[in-house]
Amino acid sequence: MCTWESDTLSCGPEGCFAPVAGWPQLGQVRAGVRAFLHGVAPDRVADAIQVVDELTSNAARHGRPPIRLHLSRHDNGQTLLVTVSDGSPQPPEPVAVASPAAMPKHFGMRMVDALSTVWGVLTSADGKMVWAELPLAEQAP
């Protein structure tokens, strides 16, 4: 189930994260991100969708249910905080890529790092929450 308020979007284990063939319904997640960021520059929306895709896909691939996504806008709408939680305490790790052929499989967290101003992981006995902050507006020089 997804809930949307003016500054936040939350999706839980039902709705977008009810697995179809074991995977979350990422098309619905992307559409929700686009709708939530209506009016934001298209390149910033594309960056946000890429980060959400990577974090939710990682949670589905390497984590455990339940998977939850939470988006919130801060700094008068100029910053997006993306959090994805799952039931596994194992944190993601950027993998050193030995060859360009291995990149598509192991490039996700490096991409999150490149697109975000900062990211991190909080772990607990119940799992982990991976978070990333992204700018939604151009930064002043």
pLDDT tens figures, 86-113: 999 988 876 665 555 555 555 788 899 9
Rounded Cα–Cα distance for residues 61 and 69 (Å): 15
Q: Which helix (H) or strand (E) holds 79?
A: strand 79-86
Check residue 62 and give its pLDDT. 87
Position 48 confidence tier, pLDDT thresholds 50, 70, 90: very high
Does 100 map to a domain?
yes
Structural domain of residue 15, as residue ranges? 2-135
**Edge-to-edge strands, sheet with 8-11:** 2-4, 8-11, 68-74, 79-86, 127-135, 118-124
Kindly tell me if the per-residue pLDDT of 131 is higher than 80: yes
Residue 141 forms part of a structural domain: no
Domain count for the chain, please give it.
1
Distance (Å, rounded) from C-alpha 54 to C-alpha 100?
18
Residue 15 in this model has a pLDDT that exceeds 60: no
Q: Per-residue confidence at 141, pLDDT binned at 50, 70, 90?
A: very low
Q: How confident is the model at residue 137 (pLDDT cuts 50, 70, 90)?
A: confident
- Residue 36 inside a domain? The answer is yes
Signed CA dihedral, 83, 79, 118, 110: sign only = positive
Q: What is the CATH number of the domain that holds 124?
A: 3.30.565.10
Smallest Cα–Cα separation from 92: which of 128, 125, 126? 128
Quick check: is 140 in a domain? no
* Assigned token pair, 118: 């900062």
Is the pTM higher than 0.95? The answer reads: no
Q: Is 32 part of a structural domain of the chain?
A: yes
Instruction: Identify the pLDDT of residue 7.
Output: 72
Cβ atoms of 34 and 52 closer than 8 Å? no
Residue 71 corresponds to which tokens in the numbers above?
């988006």
